Structure 1
């Protein structure tokens, strides 16, 4: 019995270490890992919060405004830990595997649509400071962060971006950021290592004010196809990035349990 208990405790400790492990020696971090611990210094993920996050990612939990209060620590540890990076890697790796099977025409009309926030660029430094979605979204403070132009690249998405370019695929960035942030967004993308793109599309509020993200992005993708572009791939962190019309030949959903955009 004692041997069994020892093995069981050892197994739990090993699993616990996997949940919050840090990439020692890595220089390719999105944001320094800050683990929040409970009594005795141990972090125990809430089972209900794991289920809530699964519901979010599968689009079963929709139209939510903020992360449940009891899940803030769980979401923060997920976003700042290894699992978020691993999940992002899996999605982007599948994107590359898919792209490799395609016959790229070489006429410059094969494009891959990338969302920006929490897809190409990461706002984890902002959320680590202001909290992971429990408090209502603050438009002023977030735009102040965007205007700094210091958001780092989401490393796994950037790897996909570079591999797609090497295959001859053109990149289109399609974001819900307003037109007035065009210059700082372009500057931030280049600073983060995204040096080449076919188009950078931001939201014209004179046209899309009051419209959903699905409506806006569907309309802009339709314009691209009318211009003769072929959307062979489409990646974003929100379901609204990949739903609607003219979504492309294949879509890829990155994890994001911080916020929901309809």
Structure 2
């Protein structure tokens, strides 16, 4: 016997800017829905989907009732599986191209290449407001962030195709040495360029990365893929042939 269960999860975004609030209506479902599945688990899975699809954005923290569900998603294997699927598609796409000497794949760093899960697991999985000073002191400056395993596998496969790798990060230029050392320690042994942001650059992430991609195009590179965990790293000008969004339900960067 087949049982059809219908549920409605409606999310309204109240602001489009960084730090804006959002409103969400409770998930409505029949009594007894989903044996062993809590209403919060279902509702928070819907919330994560809305974040990844950019139907919810501009939030400073994840909903408090979604902390346990988010931790289970990150630590339970689904997060790595989702990351694997995206990275596989990057490689499959590149494999179908006739690779040229000027072809590059752009990777963001934090949350894309280097995992910042060790930091966020100690700070409520996104339920605490972001503190840039604390993030630098407890995470960036230590230089021991592990690789996202599926991204590292993809990185090595892309190098095998003859693709050049460019890392484009919002980290400031004073973090160049520690970032280079951390990348090598994590297994990323070679790259074409590592681009960091000048402290005097007042552009937001979308503007800054669009500008830097434009410079790469002017230098003669063909961007065959742009890979990141934030939409602001993927949208804007000079996106390249394809953009690939890795999962990240923990935070939003404008």
Gap runs ≥5 in structure 2: 4-35
The Cα of 1:190 is off from its aligned counterpart by 0.1
Q: Distance in 2 between matches of 1:129 and 1:69?
A: 15
Matches within 5 A, 1:245-256: 245-256=237-248
In structure 2, the partner of 1:219 is 211
Answer yes or no: is 1:166 the counterpart of 2:140.
Answer: no
C-alpha displacement of 1:73: 1.1
Q: Name the residue aligned to 2:194.
A: 200
TM-score (norm 2): 0.83
In the aligned structure 1, how far is the partner of 2:121 from the partner of 2:155? 26
**2:57 alignment counterpart:** 62
Compute the TM-score of the two structures, normalised by the length of structure 1.
0.81
Q: Distance in 1 between matches of 2:189 and 2:211?
A: 26
Distance 1:43 1:200 in 2: 44
CA shift, 1:139, in A, is 1.4
Q: Tell me which residue corresponds to 1:259.
A: 251
Give the corresponding residue for 1:28. Answer: none
> Match for residue 155 of structure 1?
149
The structural deviation recorded for 1:205 is: 2.2
More helix by share: 1
Per-residue CA deviation, residues 180-228 of structure 1 (Å, 9 max, x unaligned), is 101000000000000000000011121x22x210000000000000000
Match for residue 6 of structure 2? none
Equivalent residue in structure 2 for 1:97, among 92, 98, 102? 92
Quote the residue 2:8 is aligned against. Answer: none
Q: Which runs of 5+ in 1 are unaligned?
A: 9-41
Matched with 1:111 is 104
Report what 2:75 is aligned to: 80
Give the match's secondary structure for 1:116.
coil
